[in-house]
Homo-oligomer: A and B are copies of this chain.
């Protein structure tokens, strides 16, 4: 017998790629994210009864919605595909197409909510493949970087995406993140299409040296090493073309003390890491003044690294 009638879950926004870790690295932040409420109803199987905060743009059909697909995958594995009558309410609490893992947050929140509602047949670790299935609907391919970070919190390295093999990396305690979200929208599919299929071996070597060094920097809490490693010579030069003012914002962030700065996921949001809230705020102001000059609206957000991930909240 289910122990509750309704479960509400928050899952955080996430920064994927993290400069040198294209498609394999992500971390979660605080203060931005989605809520999914799952509740038992009398009949009708799995459905989505409401979506707010999306401007009416997300599909309500379970089989087309990331949260719906993720919940379906879970129920199928639990052997309750047809037997569970559950309605989901999705509260989008961050902009769509922002590069902050919007669809991943909904997928992660949905699987945690439904799992809790049906009596926790799965551990949090076991929920990941279901959330990845939901994420596939949004990005067109199975990627676990945002979704694993949203689910588990902290820094996540994705060794393989499908089936997911992910590693939780340590989070240096001083790390703060600044996000700036210019008011333009980039679809992950499009942002992926513009990437070249080949890269120079020489640049690939530089990239994996940096990623290895970044992982070492996270384990040793070596902020200087983290800073020296936060470079992306492969993806950023291509994708940044889609982001007005990118080079100037990045320079402004570095000048204001950022350890590093790059595109969050497929953009247009940009993230910068630093070692204090004060610096993180100053970085946000510096990046913002670049966008002010070119007359583009934006939001900034400052957060520590979120090491909690998706979790049940009071209804």
Contact = CB atoms under 8 A, between A and B. Distances in A.
Interface string A72-93: 0000000000000000000000
Copies in the complex: 2
B209 A207 contact: no
Contacts of A216: 157, 167, 169, 215, 219
A211 interface: yes
A200 B201 contact: no
Interface in A149-173: 157-160, 165, 167, 169
A156 to B, nearest CB: 11
A195 interface: yes
B201 A195 contact: yes
A260 to B, nearest CB: 14
Given A157-B213, A208-B24, A208-B208, A199 B196 contact: no
A196 B201 CA distance: 8
Interface of A: 20-25, 157-160, 165, 167, 169, 195-202, 204-205, 207-216, 219, 225, 228-229, 234
Nearest to A167: B216
A229 B160 CA distance: 10
B210 A207 contact: no
B159 A205 contact: no
Given A198-B201, A212-B212, A212-B215, 8 more contacts: A23-B205, A24-B212, A25-B212, A159-B210, A159-B213, A165-B228, A199-B204, A219-B219
Give me the 8 closest cross-chain CB pairs, A-B, nearest first: A208-B208, A204-B204, A24-B209, A198-B198, A219-B219, A215-B215, A159-B213, A208-B211
A140 to B, nearest CB: 15
